[in-house]
């Protein structure tokens, strides 16, 4: 049993507000590009499962042929292999086309390494669709678990996981292969190690293009318009009081009056 972890290269969240509509439309972002923060949890879980169960890990990302920063970060954290899918294979396509391309890449990895588990973060901080991993599961024909907070065990072709939902948590058992999206509660992502950094900086990352995988065209969902949200005018109120208890009580009253709580 080996693992593929789906990751995306996104702008540093601190720089997202600086990105213009024109940059977003053209894809030419003048921002520091990083591993999508939600995907860091998936990468960490893949490395942890690799330690626990002795499986191999491969990070898979889709982007331009030179967009390897996120994959290098995953390698530096400890993922063993990386694979880039040239976004040209799904050119002009929507999330469904992207999912098809990533599913094809997972299948390619599986031809060499018998992949039975795909991990992904809950969404990307730029696109925010949160549906790619579901599309990948559908294309692969595998079961899907979402919002997983703990992978309890993998044995005899079965995976046991804890899954959070609104107001509770459940433990579920699914047969492999399976696609899982992880919640941030699942772990605390590690920092890259110096050894990992050396390995990552020397790694030549293979790229899959249209000669390697075929993707069914899909452009059902399209961006028809794009605009930046208005900057919110935030007002600051300092809650005064003679004691911490009094301040807390007044704060609670104010929050209730605003229907925040």
Partner 1 sequence: MASSSELLYTEEHNLVRKMAYDFTRNEVMPIIAEHDRNHSFPHELLPRMAQLGFLGICLPACYGGAGMDFLSLGIVSEALEYGDSSVRETVAVHLALHALPIFQWGTEEQKRTFLPGLAAGDQIACFGLTEPGAGSDAAALQARAQRQGGEYILSGEKMWITLADVADRFLVFAKTQPDQGARGISAFILERGWKGLSTGTLEGKMGVRASNTGWINMQEVRVPAEYRLGQEGEGFKIAMSCLDNARFGVAAGSVGIIRACIDESVKYALQRKTFGKPIAEHQLIQQMIAQMQQDLDIGELLVWKAGTLKNQGVRNTRETSMAKWFCTEAARRAADNAVQIHGAYGYSDEYNVERHLRNTKSAVIYEGTSQIHTLMQAAYTLGMREDRPLRCPMPAYDPDAWQ
Interface residues with partner 1 (CB under 8 A) are 29-34, 72-73, 76, 191-195, 197-198, 200-201
- Check: CB of residue 115 under 8 Å from CB of residue 106: yes
Q: Whole-number minimum distance, CB 206 to partner 1, in Å?
A: 17
Question: How would DSSP label each residue in 91-102?
Answer: TT--HHHHHHHH
CB nearer to partner 1: pick between 110 and 190: 190
CB nearer to partner 1: pick between 79 and 144: 79
Q: Whole-number minimum distance, CB 15 to partner 1, in Å?
A: 10
Which pair of tokens denotes residue 19? 């990105």
Q: Whole-number minimum distance, CB 255 to partner 1, in Å?
A: 23
- Check: CB of residue 109 under 8 Å from CB of residue 208: no
Give the span between the Cα atoms of 13 and 34, in whole angstroms: 9
Q: Whole-number minimum distance, CB 202 to partner 1, in Å?
A: 8
Burial of 88 (0-12, 13-18, 19+ CB in 10 A): middle
Q: Whole-number minimum distance, CB 11 to partner 1, in Å?
A: 10
88: β partners = none
CB nearer to partner 1: pick between 54 and 229: 229
CB nearer to partner 1: pick between 226 and 234: 234
CB nearer to partner 1: pick between 131 and 205: 205
CB nearer to partner 1: pick between 198 and 250: 198
**Can you point out the beta strands (E) in 8-45?**
9-11, 33-35
The three state secondary structure string of 176-188 is CCEEEEECHHHCC
- Check: CB of residue 32 under 8 Å from CB of residue 75: no
Rounded alpha-carbon distances, angstroms, from residue 177 to 134, 144, 209: 14, 9, 25
- Is the previous residue joined to 177 through a cis bond, with omega within 30 degrees of 0? yes
Q: Whole-number minimum distance, CB 54 to partner 1, in Å?
A: 23
Q: Whole-number minimum distance, CB 217 to partner 1, in Å?
A: 31
CB nearer to partner 1: pick between 35 and 98: 35
Contacts of 230 (CB under 8 A, 6+ apart): none
């Amino acid at each position: 049993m080996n693992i593929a972890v789906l990751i995306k290269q996104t702008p540093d969240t601190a720089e997202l507000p600086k990105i213009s509509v024109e940059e977003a439309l053209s894809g030419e972002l003048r921002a520091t590009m990083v591993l999508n923060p939600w995907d860091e949890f998936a990468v960490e879980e893949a490395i942890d499962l690799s330690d626990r169960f002795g499986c191999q890990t491969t990070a898979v990302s889709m982007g331009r042929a030179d967009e390897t920063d996120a994959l290098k970060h995953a390698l530096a954290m400890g993922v063993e292999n990386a694979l880039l899918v040239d976004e040209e294979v799904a050119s002009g396509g929507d999330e469904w086309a992207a999912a098809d391309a990533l599913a094809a890449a997972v299948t390619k990895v599986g031809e060499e390494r018998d992949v039975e588990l795909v991990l992904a973060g809950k969404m990307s901080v730029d696109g925010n669709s949160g549906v790619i991993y579901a599309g990948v599961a559908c294309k692969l024909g595998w079961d899907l678990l979402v919002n997983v907070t703990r992978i309890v065990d993998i044995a005899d072709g079965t995976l046991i996981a804890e899954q959070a939902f609104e107001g509770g948590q459940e433990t579920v058992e699914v047969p492999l292969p399976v696609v899982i999206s992880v919640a941030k509660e699942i772990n605390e992502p590690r920092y890259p190690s110096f050894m990992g950094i050396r390995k990552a900086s020397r790694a030549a990352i293979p790229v899959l293009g249209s000669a390697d995988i075929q993707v069914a065209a899909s452009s059902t969902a399209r961006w028809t318009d794009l605009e930046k949200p208005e900057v919110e005018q935030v007002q600051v109120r300092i809650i005064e009081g003679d004691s911490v208890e009094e301040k807390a009580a007044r704060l609670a009253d104010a929050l209730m009056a605003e229907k925040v709580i």
